Structure 1
Amino acid sequence: MKISAVIPAYNSAKFIKAAAASIEAQTEPVAEIIIVDDGSTDATEAVVRSLPGNIVYYKQANQGPSAARNKGIELASGDWIAFLDADDQWTENKIALQKTILEKYPELVLVAGDMAEIDNDDDIITQSVLAKHGMLEDFRKLAGQAIPNALARLVTKNFIPTGTVLAKRDILIAAGGFNSAIRFGEDLELWAKIATHHPISCLPLCLMLRRQHGNNATSANESMLLDLTKVMESVRAFSQQQLKRQGLDPNQLVSDAFWTLGYWYFVNNQANLARKAFISSLKQQLTSRSVAYLIASTLPPFLVAQLRKFKQIIG
């Protein structure tokens, strides 16, 4: 088993040294660290070239993290790929824990895990993201075994942080790699493709420290929600039958994604765009919720404001 670590980097001079050091510090070493510089304009290249260890450095024009990860997969000599973002860090026994699980359950093609969140001073903000989302106990019960109905669970709530993933290189390639046309949710799309046909696992153990700062904070915004509709349409296209077998309505997934986009437009007073999104939601599935908000989005703003006040009063 030969493992290649892949790090996409863009203007990452401040944190790339710590990321690479966390890989070098693994109790179970990887064979190589591939750093794909995605068009950095800061001192990223100089910092990387000063780093010790078996590092492969490749610089390309800026194309986004998906393209950078795909290039890393292409350049890798390992038969297994582990990912890490340039501003994050692995815990020191990350690879060792995953190798142990793969020895126990050799049918697995992807093993992810829990993560903690840290600030710019490396102080821990969140001990367990799985616990934060009420998922830790479920994965503790599985103890590394293949996740039942993993596809349905993934599209309900993405429980796989990319920086914790260790996956077979040939499976990543067969799945088409990361979709560079999608900026938000491209990881979910890839994990869903893999989970559609292969067993995957998520360890209830902290494998990564994810840095939370202004450059990577993910909050609900238009671009993210637009991409979510694309992801759900894609998932429906390649896994419709598997979703049905796992108890999910593929059309509802897409309908819910458009409703969420419409609601974002609605609360941000963009009525025309809200109506379009609610209509798209209704085209996928007829729901009273989408009908109600479609009607509300046609009302004058002052009346909508009054309805919101009334809703707050009645609780």
Structure 2
Amino acid sequence: MKTTFSIVITTYNRLLFLKQAVASALSQTLPCEIIVIDDCSQDGTQEYVQHLENRVVYHRNSTSQGWGKCVNIGVELAGGEWIKFLDDDDYLAPHCIEEMSRAIAAFPESVILSCQAIRVNETRTELNITPQVGSGEAVRVLQEDIHYQMLFDRLPFGTTVQVAAKKVAFLNSGGWNSQLADSGFEAIDSWVRIAEYGDGIFVNQPLGYRRLWWGNISQQRSIQERLNANITLKHNIYSLVHEKYQAKLPEDRECQEFLELYWGMVGLKHGTLNEAWHVAQPSLFSFKAWNRLLQVIYMKKFRHRIDSASLNRLEQIAIEYYNLSVCSELSESEIERIEEILKEAESEPCLSLLLDEVDCLVLKQLNFLEEDGDYYQQQSAKIRKFIEETIVPESSVLLNCWKNTAWEIREFPI
């Protein structure tokens, strides 16, 4: 039985962009229901959509209700099992619904799906593409892993153009939170809550186009407001991380320090020096915050450039490392191999992050081990200590970060 979809488009006074969004929905290779929720536009939107007649379902609010309430109304009206969200200034690739349906058929226990997106400007010139997750056309993410991966920005369940969700899970989660109206984080907050009800999928194909322009809601908020909303969101994610990751979680304060530093850099990049100093100042001397920031910059800048062959090689090394880590007795050659892998990780941040995940798997197994438990605990502690010490930036790097690093940040909600 095929999955049924509804595309929910929310709009407010963006007729030119809306036409592109609707056209992309009507052009899907797998046709589906299209719903337009008009938040009382005054630019001819009503006349345009009514001209489309029965090709779309149209709902117009009598007064402006806000973005979040429009999304909730659209989902309530939708007849599809799955909802494909779409803002009026974004648009879809023609095969978006078809590819998402194929991925859902492969992983039917999922309740949320995301994909890569191509970022474009106002004239639809392509700027860049969001990174892949793992290898393969579609990657299943177990429910117990989603929140930990989102907390550390390794799972880009991001903007609405990337995401689809199962309608029943959306409704059970309570829909979009109107208290986060216009914060730029309403969507991610919703994905966090939806993920409590099942697995996730990431499709490694660009199935949507996200338009970056001055009219984006997130661009209209102050740095302090966006920081506050981001901290609230991270606190929520932190509280939902599965118990198997609890031993690896940093202190909640460490997460906040990273965000303060990150948004300070964003403010510096935008030239708002006073505000940048104000939000970053509490965390300027946090080595852990700088460590995390440099990792994020590296991943944003280089992760999407890693070819599949290199990624597969790193994954094979991580698997080998895992097999060695769970052995109760190691030969001299096996010990030497571990040392070789750790040495390579010193110059390869992506490998370091993979080894961090391996360490988590080892810790998970410790819960079921009765013999040689102390040995595994010591090995895992050594692995964690090595990773922390080798990735932490040196003082010279720290001193130059304000000058050299801020301009490398590609801003998007974390």
What range is the shorter-chain TM-score in? 0.7 to 0.9
Q: Which has the higher helix share?
A: 2
Instruction: Quote how far apart the aligned CAs of 1:268 are.
Output: 3.2
1:76-225 to structure 2, matched below 5 A, reads 76-126=78-128, 128-130=129-131, 136=132, 139-147=133-141, 149-157=145-153, 159-160=156-157, 161-182=159-180, 183-216=183-216, 218=218, 221-225=223-227
Change (3 A) 1:263 1:15: closer
Structure 1 unaligned segments of length 5 or more: list them.
Answer: 131-135, 282-286, 293-310
AA partner of residue 187 (structure 1): A
Count matched residues: 281
1:289 matches 2:289 = no
CA distance in 1, matches of 2:86, 2:224: 26
The answer on whether the counterparts of 1:17 and 1:51 sit within 8 Å (CA) in structure 2 is: no
Give the TM-score taking structure 2 as reference length: 0.60
AA partner of residue 195 (structure 1): A
The answer on whether the counterparts of 1:184 and 1:223 sit within 8 Å (CA) in structure 2 is: no
Instruction: Quote how far apart the aligned CAs of 1:56 are.
Output: 1.7
Structure number with greater Rg is 2
Structure 2 unaligned segments of length 5 or more: list them.
Answer: 290-398, 404-414
Give a deviation string over 1:16-72, Cα, whole Å, max 9, x none: 111111111111111x21111123222222222222553222122223211111111
CA distance in 1, matches of 2:247, 2:175: 24
CA distance in 1, matches of 2:22, 2:6: 12
CA distance in 1, matches of 2:52, 2:22: 8
Instruction: Quote how far apart the aligned CAs of 1:247 are.
Output: 3.4
AA partner of residue 289 (structure 1): S
Instruction: Quote how far apart the aligned CAs of 1:204 are.
Output: 0.9
Pick 1 or 2: higher relative contact order, CA cutoff 8 A, min separation 6: 1
**Residue in structure 2 matched with residue 75 of structure 1 by the alignment:** 77
**Residue in structure 2 matched with residue 7 of structure 1 by the alignment:** 9
AA partner of residue 159 (structure 1): P
Q: Which moved more, 1:220-229 or 1:172-181?
A: 220-229
**Residue in structure 2 matched with residue 307 of structure 1 by the alignment:** none
**Residue in structure 2 matched with residue 304 of structure 1 by the alignment:** none
The answer on whether the counterparts of 1:118 and 1:209 sit within 8 Å (CA) in structure 2 is: yes
CA distance in 1, matches of 2:16, 2:114: 26
**Residue in structure 1 matched with residue 274 of structure 2 by the alignment:** 269
The answer on whether the counterparts of 2:150 and 2:237 sit within 8 Å (CA) in structure 1 is: no
The answer on whether the counterparts of 1:265 and 1:273 sit within 8 Å (CA) in structure 2 is: no
AA partner of residue 169 (structure 1): K
CA distance in 2, matches of 1:99, 1:15: 26
Change (3 A) 1:106 1:58: same
CA RMSD of aligned residues (A): 3.4
The answer on whether the counterparts of 1:154 and 1:188 sit within 8 Å (CA) in structure 2 is: no
The answer on whether the counterparts of 1:226 and 1:261 sit within 8 Å (CA) in structure 2 is: no
Q: Which moved more, 1:97-106 or 1:150-159?
A: 150-159
Give a deviation string over 1:142-195, Cα, whole Å, max 9, x none: 531312522222232261231122211010111111112112212112212233
Give a deviation string over 1:115-165, Cα, whole Å, max 9, x none: 112233323222x222xxxxx2xx251531312522222232261231122
Change (3 A) 1:269 1:162: same
Change (3 A) 1:255 1:274: closer
The answer on whether the counterparts of 1:108 and 1:201 sit within 8 Å (CA) in structure 2 is: yes
The answer on whether the counterparts of 2:117 and 2:130 sit within 8 Å (CA) in structure 1 is: yes
The answer on whether the counterparts of 1:117 and 1:212 sit within 8 Å (CA) in structure 2 is: yes
**Residue in structure 2 matched with residue 296 of structure 1 by the alignment:** none
Q: 1:235 aligns with which of 231, 237, 241?
A: 237
The answer on whether the counterparts of 1:229 and 1:254 sit within 8 Å (CA) in structure 2 is: yes
Give the TM-score taking structure 1 as reference length: 0.77
Q: Give secondary structure in 2 for the equivalent of 1:41.
A: coil
